[in-house]
Structure 1
Amino acid sequence: MFVSIANTPRDYAWGSTSAIPRLLGTPETGEPQAELWLGAHPGSPSRILDPARTGGATDLAAWIASDPATAVGEKGSLSFLLKILAAAHPLSLQAHPTLERAREGFARENAAGIPIDAPERNYRDALHKPEIIVALSPTYEALCGFRPLAEVREIVDLLVMLDGSQVAPRWELYGPIVHLLEDSETVGEPDGEVLRSVVSWLLEGGPEVDALVGHLVRTTEKALHPAHAHLTDPYTKSLETVVLLNEQYPGDPGIIISLLLNRVTLSAGEALYLPAGNIHAYLRGLGVELMSASDNVLRGGLTPKHVDVAELLEVLDFDPLPVPYLRPERQVDGLQLFAPDVPDFELARIDVGDAEVLPLESGVPSVAPTVAFAPQGPAIAICIGGSVSIAGASGSVTIARGESVFVTPDEGELVFAGDGTVFVAAPGAPANELP
């Protein structure tokens, strides 16, 4: 069964007023349109456009609850949440727990009697929340994961040089960070433990941290001022991020933490995979985001919301890692499949039309007259351009730019035709099932 669905974009303050309307051909409202949610998450379940087809259920969550056998089959629930995300301003620094940590934290907070909707609540369900983001805008800016400690030392050296008041990285305000870095070299402490110490010191706050944030911002603003020579250091983007974050969250310790993280610019079509424990923040751009259907977020700054420092330190993975790019697992004519090693979801990009098939190595999605894709269960498809027909075992539908549809698992393999682009979210491979 193909069931047409829709939703109203979330109006978070960091959202763009125009990016989602321009992508989907929908009206601008003058208000931010930050995230369009497609799924059954209780925070904003998708509306069913023809309730007569779903026994009168008016949203996807209600239909799944009333008739799970038809809607999601043996899965029993919808394991993923698909979003179109449009950031005009930086989001908070955040990380998500492992499945084990989420189960333990949810039970612990329930036992403590903390209301599910309480601002200080960390765990609103017993699920983990890995996620992927695929860039749609020409560039998509983000912070993700801790960078190597050697790079952090180079950034501290650069900051002292830019300040111009010292010739060595022992300047008083940077002292706590410098000493932590130098001590780690002396005793051979693992990079992850050093980064844990630095982040803990920053998040605890206090006069020293406040002074360091203020001076760091003044130093970078001075170094990046147009009146001065153009800075061509490899860390220029990281320094520009300091200024950007201070405009939105003046004085926040997360401004310094941003220098400890990988600074990433995705091109359109590139993707990141953010597993449990990976600290990240989206800075600016338009993308397709797919995640587990969870609302467990541990924040680490750049937000007026609750920050539980002790819990965050337990959740974070402090080991420096390369930028977690997610390459398509499968690329055939007209199909790119982004499939991380989790059972919750995978994301297919489908490009169909009569255009000449482009070589995959060009980095441009190829186009094919028809494309076949077999979801591992219930699926959600959204058209971001043109018009595409989708045919399954017993039904078919045509969706145009801006339209979306829920597909029940009995449709099996789907065949796409027409002239357009569709993203399809579905559960991941059974081989990735977690205990």
Structure 2
Amino acid sequence: MDLLLNTVQPYDWGSRTLLPELMGLPPTGAPQAELWMGAHPAAPSRVARGDAPVPLDRVVSGDPEGELGAGTVRRFGPRLPFLLKLLAADAPLSVQVHPDLAQAQAGFARENALGVPLDAPHRNYRDDQHKPEMIVTLTPFQGLCGFRNPADTADLLDALEVPALRPYIETLRVAPERQGLAEVFRAFLRPPAGLLDAVARGVAVAAAGAGEARVAAYDRVARAHPGDPGLLTALMLRYVELGPGEALFLGAGVPHAYLSGLGVEIMASSDNVLRCGLTSKHVDADELARVVRFDAPPARVLTPREEGAEEVYPAPVDDFRLSRYLPRAGGPRRRVTLDAPQILLCAAGTATVSSAGEHLGIGPGQAVYVPAGAEAGLEGAGTVFRATTGTAERLG
């Protein structure tokens, strides 16, 4: 097992205080948006093996079966199939969607055939993997997730009292559900001149009015991203609030954007993100229209279920599995040996991970990597999240 040395991503939407407060560190004054834990090549964790820290992706590629287990390699290839993060948002992220596996494979092959460089700003598919994800909240958390019922969106747009919205409101009211959503979404990706400014003014007026608290989140979006047409697509999405310990799973084709809060996020290890707005990055309206699922059911707020000594957050994919151990002061040592790789992240308090006579103490924001098959135990009064694959089995 190895204590992970992890990279903080300073994206401009990140909080300046949430991660430092969790980890007991002084703020740097800069945004600290995400702490990455895993072997993603963009920012792999490092482990102390040999004379100097070594990137975890290099460790995995040097001995895939030894690190991941034969079953993981057969299913996912010689790579760690999940990425774990601490995410701390203080401003709205981009509205985005992720492709399913078939779309990712086809899109990656198509852009390769066209000779689009992997690091090109206009590239949509940077690998051939899907990117389902789940976030478990550590603080009160706000986000936009999935399409609202078309009639409810029509009511919200109507409340803005913007005459130019009338055709879109009518479409949402009278067209079949999927057709109406698709038509308005595509139109909002390329709005006519003047519509965005009129809507932003309408949102500001409505948010200031009595009884229009439902518009406040969208007013915040407009203020954080002035002049960005992503406000229009954001208005089609359902506003959600989560309490600590609740979760959202986001599958392929579901548009979403986090607004604020701190959480533990896990996802398939992929870079495939198609953005709908609230960003200065590339927006491909045509590809978005192919990837977005207008018939996807609303994302449900999830709570964990007990499985033995841990609480598991259910996800309908096998790229990852996320569970939580709650504090049990003076309780028995828990055996956490699996036939798959795992990362143990402390989110509160302290805990000790033991393996082969070695003991690693971890506090909030610290994580330990345990390779497949390693005999490992967990004890202490900390809240610990365990990330592994959905195909993992206990050994012994």
Report matched runs for 1:242-281 at 5 Å.
242-281=218-257
1:60 aligns with 2:49: no
Say whether residues 1:46 and 2:45 are aligned partners. Answer: yes
Residue pair 1:262, 1:323 contacting (<8 A) in 2 also: no
- Cα distance change on mapping 1:371 and 1:150 into 2, 3 Å: farther
Residue 214 in structure 1 maps to residue 214 in structure 2: no
Paired position in structure 2 for 1:151: 152
Kindly state the Cα deviation for residue 328 of structure 1 after the two structures are TM-superposed.
1.7
- Unpaired runs of 5+ in structure 2? 73-77
Cα distance in 2 for partners of 1:10, 1:305 equals: 17
Specify the alignment match of 1:142 in structure 2: 143
Which position in structure 2 is the counterpart of 1:112?
114
Summarize deviations over 1:68-113 as a string: whole Å, max 9, x none: 2322121232000000000111000000000011001101101100
Residue of structure 2 in register with 1:425 after alignment:
387
Q: Distance in 1 between matches of 2:339 and 2:130?
A: 20
Match for 2:273: what amino acid? V
Which residue of structure 2 aligns with residue 326 of structure 1?
A: 302
Question: Is the 2:339–2:373 contact (alpha carbons within 8 Å) kept by the matching residues of 1?
Answer: no
Q: Which residue of 1 aligns with 2:101?
A: 99
Once residues 49 and 354 of structure 2 are traced to their aligned partners in structure 1, the CA distance between those partners, rounded to angstroms, is: 21
Structure 1: how far apart are the matches of 2:222 and 2:374? 50
The amino acid that maps onto 1:174 is L
- Number of aligned positions between the proteins: 387
CA distance in 2, matches of 1:21, 1:376: 34
Distance 1:112 1:354 in 2: 58
- Please give the root-mean-square deviation of Cα atoms over the aligned residues, in Å: 2.1
| Residue 331 of structure 1: how far off its partner (Å) | 5.0
Take 1:28 and 1:84, find their aligned partners in 2: how far apart are those partners?
A: 16
In 1: Cα distance, 2:255 partner to 2:30 partner: 29
SS in 2 for 1:419: coil
Q: Distance in 2 between matches of 1:119 and 1:393?
A: 46
Q: Quick one: distance in 2 between partners of 1:143 and 1:376? A: 36
Could you tell me which residue of structure 1 aligns to residue 165 of structure 2?
Answer: 174
Q: Which residue of 2 aligns with 1:410?
A: 373
Report how far residue 173 of structure 1 moved: 0.9
CA deviations 1:321-367 (Å, max 9, x no partner) are: 2332233243555x211131111001111123328xxxxxxxxxxxx
Please state how far the C-alpha of 1:44 moved relative to its aligned partner: 0.1
- Does residue 339 (structure 1) correspond to residue 314 (structure 2)? The answer is yes
Give 1:203's aligned residue.
Answer: 189
Query: Of 77, 80, 83, which aligns to 1:81?
Result: 83
**4+ long deviations beyond 6 Å:** none
- Measure how far apart 1:272 and its partner are: 0.1
TM-score (norm 2): 0.92
Report the alpha carbon displacement of residue 57 of structure 1 after superposing the two structures with TM.
6.5
Offset of residue 114 of structure 1: 0.4
AA matched with 1:31: A
Q: 1:79 to 1:394 in 2, by over 3 A?
A: farther
Q: Give the deviation of 1:404 after TM superposition.
A: 1.3
**Equivalent in the alignment of 1:364:** none
Identify which of 351, 367, 381 aligns with 2:326.
Answer: 351
Is the 8 Å Cα contact of residues 145 and 298 (structure 2) preserved in structure 1?
A: no
Q: How big is the shift at 1:370? A: 4.0
Structure 2: how far apart are the matches of 1:42 and 1:428? 22
SS at match of 2:166: helix
**2:31 alignment partner in structure 1:** 32
Are residue 399 (structure 1) and residue 323 (structure 2) matched?
Answer: no
Moved more, 377-386 or 34-43: 377-386
Q: Distance in 2 between matches of 1:217 and 1:240?
A: 12
Q: Deviations over 1:113-167 (max 9, x none)?
A: 0000000000000000000000111x1000010011121122133233xxxxxxx
CA distance in 2, matches of 1:64, 1:427: 15
Q: Distance in 1 between matches of 2:8 and 2:155?
A: 42
Is the contact between residue 390 and residue 397 of structure 1 (CA under 8 Å) also seen in structure 2? yes
**SS of the residue aligned with 1:200?**
helix
Displacement of 1:242: 2.1
Q: TM-score, normalised by structure 1?
A: 0.84
Asked if structure 2 preserves the Cα contact closer than 8 Å seen for 1:94 and 1:298, the reply is yes
- Secondary structure of 2:349 counterpart: strand
- Distance in 2 (CA, whole Å) between partners of 1:379 and 1:182 is 48
Cα distance in structure 2, aligned partners of 1:397 and 1:249 = 43
Could you list the runs of 5+ residues in structure 1 that have no partner in the other structure?
A: 161-170, 356-367
Q: Which amino acid aligns with 1:140?
A: F
- Offset of 1:407 from its aligned partner? 0.2
Q: 1:57 to 1:416 in 2, by over 3 A?
A: closer
Paired with 1:428 and 1:344, the residues of 2 have a C-alpha distance of 6
Which residue identity lines up with residue 251 of structure 1 in the other structure? G
Contact preservation (8 Å) 2:218, 2:234: yes
Q: Give the structure 2 partner of residue 284 of structure 1.
A: 260
Aligned 8 A contact 1:352 1:417 in 2: no
Deviation at 1:372, TM superposition (A): 4.2
In the alignment, is the contact (CA less than 8 A) between 2:32 and 2:88 conserved in 1? yes
Deviation at 1:182, TM superposition (A): 4.2
The answer on 1:294 being equivalent to 2:270 is: yes
SS of the residue aligned with 1:86?
A: strand
Mapped to 1, the partners of 2:217 and 2:368 lie a distance apart of: 38
Secondary structure class of the residue paired with 1:81: strand
Task: Answer yes or no: is the 8 Å Cα contact 2:158–2:169 preserved in 1.
Answer: no
Matches within 5 A, 1:293-312: 293-312=269-288
Match of 2:127 among 125, 128, 148: 125
Q: Return the alpha-carbon distance in structure 2 between the equivalents of residues 179 and 304 of structure 1.
A: 31
